[in-house]
């Protein structure tokens, strides 16, 4: 037994599916300590949209460290933070005519969600939250209470309350009108639904199985929220920062959420960083009412600023992501069509793609085979029935094709 | 108005007390963008025990990055993680004959606390937690529910339940026996106290006002927990990693908590890292039952490993911390005695020290004056009545004396 | 101002709609202190199925009191209780081949519900309950948490949690399959629905607007519960004791709930009495684990026993209720057809009938007019849009016709 | 096995300690079906302060029924209710210069408590309640959450939250100042105590073991509540209606609670009735915001009115209760002194008296022996360590002496 098995808690999981020890990583590749190369269609669960050890970001971070830039600053003002704020305003918010204030809620996506839920409750004076089936928002108690996965929920050890799940887009395969249940419960003063402070939604559910909500559903949701005075929180932790094409995943629907959660790739380099964006009129926080030690990770500020400047001053990355996404989509559709007898389904948007199997074991087999063949992909969905494809956005065409080819071989192998 | 005021949320707080913009930092000093030097008696709220941009740690991190070491790995096995686990076992656990399993609960102290609470509930099948007056454990919902500060609690927007506060050591100035209330409630089957899963405690309450529990109180608490089958969680996020002298703050009491929370300085360099340590028999987690994106921040693993190797292979740092702590303690006692008419009190252990004022405004004035004079200290305590002194453990004698001299001037100025 | 206005709390409500002071009552009639006669289509909200001061029941109660029978006995054994238990077993349970144990949970329907919820949670080790839109189960905290009405819910002053409302039968006017949402959430381990201990349902929702679930829906619900290991609680407080024809309202569906709540007319004479019936295998209570002062109201036992003996030894009352119910139904349908331009709808089963108006003000007007004309009816439904007809089951044909004629006049008047 | 054992739920409890079947009852006596006479020192747990089948009350109730007075009226105005309100105002409130509005919350004490808690939360906008160690307030979810007994609490099946227990008077045998812990937690904004809406207290804890709070403690509590803007709820369900001498048990302390709960003997005859009294400025209920079917039990109104007129128009009953209480107290003290080697303690006030044993089994033995000898007494206290003496207030001197003599014999027997 190695030290991971003897010393680390049983809670560890990725290391079980990928039984090797990784050492180096560049661009779209990871290397284990034996030197074996793995093409990465996982990208740190969306934290490495710009690839591993992206040289431009690495240079910026190392230069900052060499110059003895402040590393850790809580919410003190620093030069690095100012540059991030300025870049975020100039490159992200202004061009999209988005008027948000920026909160640093802590280092991780769950902190962004916790802050969003707190704020929504504080602003509205209501306590109840609407979440969606198969949502994933994090493991801290507030975030977990709006997460769907029953195994993770049971880890709480206390009843998770104050949230009511509503059916996500297409939950009933189109046999009911959108928001039928939600609208009816809201309209009916005898429904027993506690009046919600907010709705929290992912535009594409990553952990939930790469379920991409239609833009008209997202628009309908935003409209419903506005009509009922419910705040709309978009959790863009995994799908933001260009994963689906545009910087924010909700841009495609033309909606303006009241609160937006960002993390994962916002730091660019895989360093922990999270932002909660809020409409100015919602900024009713008392100073220090929400705080935390790791809100000022300046190397992450530096990498984030550099990533914005390199990748978001023009629309090249967005267009390339959309194009590559289309390519992946076509490949997946092709696979589905190649095996007419096997229940499969191609899913997703941008470079968040999934191949869903009727039999969850097949999805697991595909990923295991791919790992053998040097391709990292994880499963998602409530039963692990979806092979999830999330390569770095910076992946080259050759790498992408190579990965898709391994995927095809893995599917073939799994179905053999 | 600068961009911090226009774009950042009103929730920001440290930047209000220290109204400048910091740029560089080395060792015990921060520098603002005008070049003004600030001696740091704050140390990132305990995250920078080894000083800013510690050259040994910096070198290790930069070398790792230059070599394209894996940056972000969730809970995959990596070489950097193995080295951290091995170092932690060899340098920290084995010499202290501590038998813990190590869990990576997420990047921040609150994650360590959330995981500890979940696990305690899962293991015992009970939901209630005992916390202490003036406790601080974090801002995510689970951690907030065991935190005392009423302003921060009210930020939750929902009733915070499942925790009952007990009086911390010396809460009644010695007029009652230790654990009088707690023991009586536990012994009385009609008391109305829900049977607790766990007690969560800080050995020295940092945010609560540098309240140092006596070792006999800590021993009494551990003994009480064992007698009643209640798990004992020590939140060593701020007071661990040598802040009070020994690596774990509870060592001085000779107790063995069931679960230990570490963060802040465990990463050494100010990068987010947290650990939850648990007795092996408590390791009942399902794989993936608690997860999170930023559990594998390898640069932090590298810095953590280096910090352990440099500072904890012998007892030099521990001894120096104790000696410097004594020195600070003497200085504070001297200050108290210098102003017999002003209600003041010297508090703390190791290099976690406090000067408590009867009038909280005076504490605020002292810190404001110190800032003008180039010394960073924050207030703590429920009303901000305590000037909190937490210099880096690596501070030199000269720097320490300089800081204490500025403190003395600041007190004099505030009392003038 | 009279003493009701000066001394009684503003919470009073029936006295506002029926602004007089009642004095005497017999059979189907109430009389106010001026001697004005009111035909009672309300029947104590279902507590007076056998009419006011039913002479047979009155005789039994008075004889018992005159003989100095024990009045108040908590859960001591008494002769009167034995007779009730024996009668209940012989007349109610055995002929229906129902195998239940009988619990005396306290004097009112809410106590029966509170005990049922406690027991379901204790037996299953789960905490969550499924209730239905527009459910009404009572005003104590546990019962209120499964009640739909938002005004009443807001009276709790704390968030009402641990219950999730599902759509009642026909909630979407037949446009979705039965249990579409419920089944899907249960089947999906990622749905976010906490695993339910029990479902609580009324077969006909009285307060909710005389919504009668179809028998196939009830059967589907029972089957769903069995399939998923969820306990089925039928709250038969208002619809039991023959209101819809058979003794238990669920008999028509041929289902066997795990737990049944009875109250209102079980005492027969309007005296407080409630029963919780539970399958023998669920009887895991510790002695005294649920208790209460008014569990032994012996005059109510006596009246209950007499009512069972008089009315339930044969099927006369059941048949007559069904026949009269049909008559009322026809009358209501006729009214609906008479006013093709006014959105109206006839609802209900047995002698629980309702006339729903598209415009809730009309329902209020109908009841107000009827009161003027000497007929007592209340409104129900979330907006008070349903005129509710619940005459005593012992009403004579003449009285029923007289009442229906007043109803017709009242509708005409309201629509004028 | 008899039908109680075969058909009634295992939850039954009094019938286990008193294994016979009661039939008749008059004054201070119960008779089982074999004709055996039992002197009643239990009095329906305080519901039969005026004795069994009190002839004056019986006459009034029977006359009312014979005249076909309305039995069941929800919260409609009735003549019987008017007479109760007028009598309550004239005989109870006015002479004591108490200005309360009267609410009919449902038939039982728990309803009075549920309504009080709801109202306190609604008025203050806070959710947290302070209860006391060994409190008993009822079995419905809200009332249970402020009850101390752990066995009964565990029956809830969900975590009972929103209440924090404080030490009742003399909980630490006088070794700490009154309210030391409570005051300190309230004063300390970092204590972690949720700001309370209300305190709920019994002046003498009946179920908790006949713990009589000193009047100065009650005054201190009332003063503390006023100072902190916390509502004071006195649960006088068991100790009101003259049990301790005066009509309200709190009169002796000269305090004016914000809300008072009455039930048990308010109905006089053992019929279910409860009242919640509230200061007029707290009467913020919406009409119907709290309701319930059995709020208008007119026979209970009639008996209540008669009891007020017969027993509370002068101070004879109050004086006699105090005198008899003194007599019982002397007897108990004498018993304690007779057995200097057996840890025993005499407790109580008025005719709520207790004899506490160091060894709870002795208390059980005393009650069992007394039952054999024809005297009904129950145990109370968290471990059943207190023999509880609560005879009817109308008990004659001879009966009282006879009972005390049986008690003495039972103690002797138990200690033999």
pLDDT digits (tens, 9 = 90+) for B56-105: 999 999 999 999 999 999 999 999 999 999 999 999 999 999 999 999 99
pLDDT in tens, B124-157: 999 999 999 999 999 999 999 999 999 999 999 9
Q: Which of C249, C272, C242 is nearest to C109 (CA)?
A: C272
CA separation (Å) from B281 to A9, A143, A147, B230? 11, 28, 28, 14
Measured between alpha carbons, how far is A393 from A351 in angstroms, rounded to an integer? 7
The full 3-state SS of A20-86, as one line of letters, equals CEEEEEEECEEEECCCCEEEECCHHHHCCCCCECCHHHHHHHHHHHHCCECCECCCCEEHHHHHHHH
Tell me the mean pLDDT in the region C209-225.
98
Q: Which of D26, D24, D79, D23 is nearest to D56 (CA)?
A: D26
Statement: residue B1 has pLDDT above 90: no
The one-digit pLDDT tens for each residue of chain A (416 residues) are: 799 999 999 999 999 999 999 999 999 999 999 999 999 999 999 999 999 999 999 999 999 999 999 999 999 999 999 999 999 999 999 999 999 999 999 999 999 999 999 999 999 999 999 999 999 999 999 999 999 999 999 999 999 999 999 999 999 998 899 999 999 999 999 999 999 999 999 999 999 999 999 999 999 999 999 999 999 999 999 999 999 999 999 999 999 999 999 999 999 999 999 999 999 999 999 999 999 999 999 999 999 999 999 999 999 999 999 999 999 999 999 999 999 999 999 999 999 999 999 999 999 999 999 999 999 999 999 999 999 999 999 999 999 999 999 999 999 999 98
The label of the residue with tokens 């100095």 reads C68
Strands (E), A254-297: 259-262, 275-278
Burial of D85: CB neighbours in 10 Å, binned 0-12, 13-18, 19+: buried
pLDDT at A399: 98
Measured between alpha carbons, how far is C287 from D9 in angstroms, rounded to an integer? 9
pLDDT at B200: 98
Measured between alpha carbons, how far is D162 from B161 in angstroms, rounded to an integer? 6
The pair phi, psi for residue C169, each rounded to 5°, is -55, 135
Tell me if chain B has a CB within 8 Å of the CB of D53: no
Distance from CA of D292 to the nearest CA of B (A): 28
Point out the residue among C135, C148, C192 whose CB comes nearest to the CB of A135. Answer: C192
pLDDT at B174: 87
Statement: residue D416 has pLDDT above 90: no
Q: Which of chain A's residues have a Cβ under 8 Å away from the Cβ of C172?
A: 176, 180-181, 184
Distance from CA of B149 to the nearest CA of D (A): 4
Nearest CA in chain C to B158: C159
Give the chains touching B; criterion: ≥3 Cβ pairs < 8 Å.
A, C, D
Distance from CA of A315 to the nearest CA of B (A): 24
Tell me if chain C has a CB within 8 Å of the CB of D20: yes
Tell me the mean pLDDT in the region C201-205.
98
Measured between alpha carbons, how far is A275 from A237 in angstroms, rounded to an integer? 9
Average pLDDT, chain D: 98
pLDDT in tens, D287-296: 999 999 999 9
Statement: residue D1 has pLDDT above 80: no
Measured between alpha carbons, how far is B65 from A375 in angstroms, rounded to an integer? 23
Point out the residue among C11, C15, C237 whose CB comes nearest to the CB of D290. Answer: C11
Q: Which of chain D's residues have a Cβ under 8 Å away from the Cβ of C265?
A: none
Report the percentage of chain B scoring pLDDT > 90: 99
pLDDT at C174: 87
Q: Which of chain C's residues have a Cβ under 8 Å away from the Cβ of B159?
A: 158-159
Nearest CA in chain B to A138: B292
Distance from CA of C119 to the nearest CA of A (A): 17
Measured between alpha carbons, how far is C205 from C149 in angstroms, rounded to an integer? 12
Measured between alpha carbons, how far is C88 from C85 in angstroms, rounded to an integer? 5
Q: Which of chain D's residues have a Cβ under 8 Å away from the Cβ of A159?
A: 158-159
Q: Which of A145, A124, A125 is nearest to A135 (CA)?
A: A145
pLDDT-based confidence at D202, cuts 50/70/90? very high
Contact C192 A153 (CB under 8 A): yes
Contact B290 A81 (CB under 8 A): no
Measured between alpha carbons, how far is B225 from A324 in angstroms, rounded to an integer? 58
Is the CB of residue B241 less than 8 Å from the CB of residue B260?
no
Distance from CA of A171 to the nearest CA of B (A): 25
Average pLDDT, chain C: 98
CATH of C59-311, one of 2.40.70.10, 3.30.70.1900, 3.40.640.10, 3.40.50.1820: 3.40.640.10
Q: Which of chain C's residues have a Cβ under 8 Å away from the Cβ of D157?
A: 117-122, 127, 197
Both tokens assigned to D88: 């309550």
DSSP state of A88: I
Tell me the mean pLDDT in the region D301-313.
98
Sheet order of strands, C37-40 included: C375-376, C37-40, C29-32, C21-26, D77-78
pLDDT at A174: 87
Q: Which of chain B's residues have a Cβ under 8 Å away from the Cβ of C158?
A: 159
Is the CB of residue D78 less than 8 Å from the CB of residue D299?
no
| B45, B70, B304, B364, best to mutate vs chain A, most A CBs in 10 Å | B70
What residue spans of A147-267 are helical by DSSP H? 150-154, 180-187, 215-228
Tell me if chain B has a CB within 8 Å of the CB of C66: no
pLDDT in tens, D254-283: 999 999 999 999 999 999 999 999 999 999
Tell me if chain A has a CB within 8 Å of the CB of C174: no
Mention the CATH class of domain D3-53+316-415. Answer: alpha beta
B115-131: b (≥16 Cβ within 10 Å) or e = bbbbbbbbbbebbbbbb
Tell me the mean pLDDT in the region C183-204.
97
Give the chains touching C; criterion: ≥3 Cβ pairs < 8 Å.
A, B, D
Distance from CA of A273 to the nearest CA of C (A): 27
Residue A184 Cα to chain centre, angstroms: 30
Contact D192 B148 (CB under 8 A): yes
Kind of pairing between the strands at A128-132 and A163-166: parallel
Question: Boundaries of CATH 3.90.1150.10 in chain B?
Answer: 3-53+316-415
Both tokens assigned to B72: 């972000």
State pTM to two decimals.
0.98
Question: Boundaries of CATH 3.40.640.10 in chain A?
Answer: 59-311
Is the CB of residue C366 less than 8 Å from the CB of residue C411?
yes
pLDDT at B338: 97
Strands (E), D177-244: 196-201, 204-205, 211-212, 231-235
- Rg, chain C, Cα only: 21
Measured between alpha carbons, how far is B69 from B84 in angstroms, rounded to an integer? 14
Q: Is the ipTM of this complex over 0.90?
A: yes
Q: Which of A163, A321, A326 is nearest to A245 (CA)?
A: A321
């Amino acid at each position: 037994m190695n030290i991971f098995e003897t010393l680390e808690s049983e809670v560890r999981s990725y290391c079980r599916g990928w039984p090797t020890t990784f050492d180096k990583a560049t661009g779209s590749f990871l290397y284990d300590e034996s030197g074996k190369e793995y093409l990465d269609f996982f990208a740190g669960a969306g934290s490495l949209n710009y690839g591993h050890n992206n040289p431009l970001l690495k240079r910026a971070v190392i230069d900052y460290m060499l110059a003895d830039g402040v590393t850790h600053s809580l919410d003190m003002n620093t030069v690095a933070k100012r540059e991030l704020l300025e870049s975020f305003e100039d490159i992200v918010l202004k061009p999209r005519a988005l008027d948000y204030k920026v909160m640093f809620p802590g280092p991780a996506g769950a902190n962004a969600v916790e802050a969003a839920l707190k704020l929504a409750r504080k602003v509205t004076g209501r306590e109840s939250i609407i979440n969606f089936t198969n949502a994933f928002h994090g493991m801290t108690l507030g975030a977990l209470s709006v997460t769907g996965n029953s195994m993770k929920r049971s880890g709480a050890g206390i009843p998770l309350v104050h949230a009511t799940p509503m059916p996500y887009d297409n939950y009933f395969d189109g046999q009911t009108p959108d928001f039928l249940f939600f609208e009816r419960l809201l309209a009916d003063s005898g429904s027993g639904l506690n009046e919600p402070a907010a709705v929290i939604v992912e535009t594409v559910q990553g952990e939930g199985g790469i379920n991409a909500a239609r833009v008209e559903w997202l628009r309908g949701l935003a409209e419903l929220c506005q009509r009922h005075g419910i705040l709309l929180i978009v959790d863009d932790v995994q799908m933001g920062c260009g994963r689906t094409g545009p910087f924010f995943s909700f841009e495609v629907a033309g909606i303006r959420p009241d609160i937006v959660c960002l993390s994962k790739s916002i730091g660019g380099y895989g360093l922990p960083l999270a932002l909660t964006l809020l409409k100015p009129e919602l900024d009713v926080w008392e100073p220090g009412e929400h705080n935390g030690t790791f809100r000022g990770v300046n190397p992450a500020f530096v990498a984030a600023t550099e990533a914005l400047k390199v990748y978001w001053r023009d629309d090249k990355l967005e267009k390339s992501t959309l194009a590559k996404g289309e390519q992946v989509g076509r490949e997946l559709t092709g696979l589905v069509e190649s095996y007419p007898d096997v229940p499969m389904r191609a899913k997703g948007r941008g470079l968040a793609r999934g191949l869903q199997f009727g039999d969850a074991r097949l999805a697991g087999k595909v990923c295991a085979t791919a790992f053998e063949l040097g391709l990292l992909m994880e499963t998602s969905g409530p039963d692990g029935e979806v092979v999830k494809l999330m390569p770095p956005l910076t992946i080259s065409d050759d790498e992408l094709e190579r990965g898709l080819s391994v995927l095809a071989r893995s599917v073939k192998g799994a179905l053999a």
